[in-house]
Structure 1
């Protein structure tokens, strides 16, 4: 393979061993690219990101590529790491970098973690150790929710794979983006998914200071046409209303393993409904990710009310937090104060997370959804017609049915716009 045969915008390399020009000096760009061209196929275990970093004029200037015209590199070098788990927590390659011929480059290996879970501490230390631009890049990554960062990273990866899939696509220009969108359309991707993917590609491009190819008149109008020809199906998830909630809580002892578990899920279901809470605001994303779950210090119980603080939400990524109060209601079978006070009396100490099992492990989103589905199935209902959002939908629907004002409904679900209307589904 010749250097001229390599994609001009991105060079994906597997396991390469580079020889430095001299101790304490940088790396010769031509040598890097030449050795990359001879690299073997990429192992499937993962990626360790290596970054091309500008070095000032005058550094390693004695080593020039034999090609008189020089080599313009747009390279992100990728080598192997130990496991797929490390790859999933690592960030994307730093991407398409244009290196002026007048400047040499130094190669600096670093793992670029995403803003989630165990990677958080490593991300913070890496941000502190790097230069100003690298540090700000880490801060920009932290501006996103972990799920959003994961989706953006996946979108950029798909764009990279497209560019590497053929020599006619390696230019990475606006025509390439148009071909990429058309391919997604032919695959049957929804307009909503395409819009989200373009948002991810746009963010990553700006993060890496490369041209954003997603903003054009043709792309904008194509998305509108896409939406008109293939409208997004209406959300048909059914609400969980007070009557159904009561039946679910009554059935929990038959679904769960013991009395404690039944009380735990009764408290979770009751709070999800009466507080119109997203499941991500209530329980842990996983056993190791509890950064947004409800804490014990944020549940304040009194004789006739319960105060709850949502510390982070989909619309509050900065973690400002929001307090709300639930009062006693006449229906004791679903009264949030009664149910939560009882669970609090049997809840074990030793964890800051409030909704925990007897062994102090946190109640997770997966467990919440699984028990919810099992309970609905036990009642003879089709659990596929419901989702964890059904508690939130049911809260808005019940509030509207009781004659609550628009302001009250918006306050209940922390909605700041007219989107609350889509949650009111009396006929579903």
Structure 2
């Protein structure tokens, strides 16, 4: 009987062990530390440091929208479905700094916004960085070739705007609220519906490359893009018709003191009109764009016969293929573009660089032509606020319509890929 009693005593021994004093504050701190270590790092893209908020620097804001403008929603907001119900955000996947930066560099080329931006994160997602670490040089070249040079430059500018717009960090995938507010800000700053859609398309492109969910195709974003089209401001630019063009050619004889500049501007005005040229296709806005305008080697002139332009860079050039524009001479007209270009090339004998240059061999700038056009319009007794560089192109379409050319023919002459030409045709009223 004594043995069992000893075993029962042994079993009760642990309950009689002395109690251990615990430091609960240290225990709680250790639990919090372990929980913090287990939280995944979210992917962020830091915006350029030292930039100014676009909403505070916007030059003009539509007065009817000022009272209803809302502050930019945080990028961590919960996105909504098309039915309006909130859903859990898609888990963010962290990226290494070199991953997103190298991807933007390789796809869009080296950009100022990429160089100025810092991208924080940890290397925990192989799928997101495979574009820069796993693709062979041949594959990267093919990826670059999928976009034209103009598209890469445009998408690069779009991402600069997007990073500049959101002063705090941007989480990918970009929430619907952030995209909607970005669209609203661009609209208030006066961007056209086509430009806004292009910027959203650039954001969408990067999301697709990284295999992220693309919120730019959500119902709300599509509706906002449609709203920009419905609220588009009317085009107030008037056409420079042939009669107005003749008045401007007479005006520059009084407003331009330099004889050589008068010859150059006459040739430029007539070329812009007869070739349906955008002013930006003839003269650059900055020195960096000098190679994108019409070049002297791309002009073939046969005096008193015709002139041919090989245009390599223009807005609707989707496949980077050059086109040839020919203008026939009209010796009986005082507004003959061929005769004006022949006289210009006799005085300006350069054989390389942009077609239109000063005597100093510097490219003629967009700002110079715009200023001289304004002075000529004022001298002719017209309102300079109603006539811009694009008025040459509008006037050419209007004159062609008055001469009986079909809409299809005008669209082809002006290199329009859509029915946008309809906005530019101003027909004369019936004489009653």
- The two structures have a TM-score, normalised by structure 1, of 0.66
Asked if structure 2 preserves the Cα contact closer than 8 Å seen for 1:253 and 1:262, the reply is yes
RMSD (Å), alpha carbons: 4.0
User: Which structure carries more strand by proportion?
Assistant: 1
Paired position in structure 2 for 1:123: none
Residue by residue over 1:139-166, the C-alpha shift from the partner in whole angstroms, topping out at 9 and shown as x without a partner, is 45654346623532234314653545xx
Give 1:332's aligned residue.
333
Indicate the structure with greater helix content. Answer: 2
Q: 1:346 to 1:7 in 2, by over 3 A?
A: farther
Distance 1:324 1:138 in 2: 29
> What residue in structure 2 maps to residue 205 of structure 1?
207
Matched, 1:153 2:159: yes
- Matched with 2:222 is 220
| Residue in 2 that maps onto 1:115 | none
CA drift of 1:227 comes to 4.7
SS at match of 2:184: helix
Q: What residue is the counterpart of 1:235 in the other structure?
A: 235
Corresponding residue for 1:266? 266
Farther-moved stretch of structure 1 (286-295 vs 263-272) = 286-295
The answer to which of 137-146 and 252-261 deviates more is 137-146
Find the residue that maps to 1:200 and give its secondary structure.
Answer: helix
- List aligned pairs for 1:52-201, cutoff 5 A: 73-76=94-97, 88=112, 99-100=123-124, 131=137, 135=141, 138-139=144-145, 142-145=148-151, 148-158=154-164, 161=167, 163-164=169-170, 170=171, 172=173, 176-182=175-181, 185=184, 189=188, 192=193, 194-201=196-203
The unaligned stretches of length 5 or more in structure 2 are 1-35, 52-91, 102-109
Contact conserved, 1:163 with 1:172, CA < 8 A, in 2? no
1:244 matched to 2:244? The reply is yes
Equivalent residues of 1:305, 1:328 under 8 A apart: yes
Q: TM-score w.r.t. structure 2 length?
A: 0.66
8 Å contact kept, 2:271–2:277: yes
Higher relative contact order (CA 8 A, sep 6+): 2
Contact 1:296 1:354 in 2 (8 A): yes
**Superimposed CA distance per residue, residues 258-302 of structure 1 (whole angstroms, 9 cap, x where no aligned partner):** 110110111110000001111232223423422222222222222
Query: Aligned equivalents of 2:258 and 2:379: distance in 1?
Result: 17
Measured after TM superposition, the shift of residue 9 of structure 1 is 2.2
Larger displacement relative to structure 2 (139-148 or 201-210): 139-148
Kindly tell me the number of residue pairs found equivalent between the two proteins.
Answer: 339
Partner of 1:113: none
Distance of 1:244 and 1:321 partners within structure 2: 31
- Deviation by residue 1:16-74 (Cα, 9 ceiling, x = unmatched): xxxxxxxxxxxxxxxxxxxxxxxxxx567xxxxxxxxxxxxxxxxxxxxxxxxxx9734
Instruction: Specify every segment of 5 or more residues in structure 1 that has no aligned partner in the other structure, as ranges.
Output: 15-41, 45-70, 80-85, 109-128, 165-169
Tell me, in whole angstroms, the C-alpha distance in 2 between the residues paired with 1:198 and 1:266. 40
SS at the partner of 1:383? coil
Question: Which deviates the most, 354-363 or 135-144?
Answer: 135-144
Q: Residue 338 of structure 1: SS of its match in structure 2?
A: helix
* Deviation of the 1:184 alpha carbon: 5.2
89-98 or 320-329: bigger deviation: 89-98
Which protein is bigger by CA-based radius of gyration? 2
1:226–1:343 distance in 2 versus 1, CA, 3 Å: closer
- Structure 2 match to 1:9: 43
> Within 1, Cα distance between the matches of 2:425 and 2:298?
29
